């Protein structure tokens, strides 16, 4: 697939694909004319990269994870690193749930100004 097609199907910019290639996250080969071409698996790989970035994983961790996804084998130390990332994500989820609960309280109060909001302090 050509770069524009991958970008459209994955919902990312061409610039993002070039960045992923530069960071060795997304393999590409060049045609004799110099155009980038990607394997059919590129769209799903880009979506995974996006998910990992959205979860807050840095490029170096993503770079370590992708070969494991490809081969099904993890290098030494990756499990500990990913466990630490999972703990961090769990903390973020808990924080977001707490914020959501507070917002629910504010929404309830905004709908009923006479509601008791003493529990929010």
d(Cα 77, Cα 111) in Å, to the nearest integer? 51
31 domain residue, yes or no: yes
66 domain residue, yes or no: no
If one counts the domains in the chain, the total is 2
d(Cα 107, Cα 115) in Å, to the nearest integer? 11
**Residue 73 pLDDT:** 84
Look up residue 21 and give its two tokens: 């290639």
Segment 12-51, tens digit of pLDDT: 999 999 999 999 999 999 989 988 999 999 999 999 999 9
Segment 79-120, tens digit of pLDDT: 899 999 999 999 999 999 999 999 999 999 899 877 666 555
Structural domain of residue 84, as residue ranges? Answer: 76-121
pLDDT band for 77, please (50, 70, 90 cuts): confident
Q: By the 8 A CB rule, do 96 and 88 touch?
A: no
80 domain residue, yes or no: yes
Share of the chain above pLDDT 70, in %: 94
pTM of the model: 0.77
d(Cα 2, Cα 39) in Å, to the nearest integer? 9
**11/40 same-domain check:** yes
64 domain residue, yes or no: no
**5/53 same-domain check:** yes
Rounded to a whole number of angstroms, the CA Rg of the chain reads 21
């Amino acid at each position: 697939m050509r770069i524009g097609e991958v970008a459209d199907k994955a919902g990312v910019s061409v610039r993002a694909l070039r960045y992923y290639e530069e960071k060795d996250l997304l393999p590409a080969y060049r045609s004799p004319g110099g155009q980038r071409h990607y394997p059919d698996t590129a769209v799903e790989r880009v979506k995974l990269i996006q998910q990992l970035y959205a979860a807050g994983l840095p490029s170096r961790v993503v770079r370590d994870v992708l070969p494991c996804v490809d081969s099904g084998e993890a290098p030494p130390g990756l499990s500990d690193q990913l466990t630490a990332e999972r703990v961090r994500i769990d903390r973020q989820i808990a924080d977001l749930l707490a914020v959501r609960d507070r917002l629910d309280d504010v929404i309830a109060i905004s709908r009923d100004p006479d509601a008791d909001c003493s529990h929010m302090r």
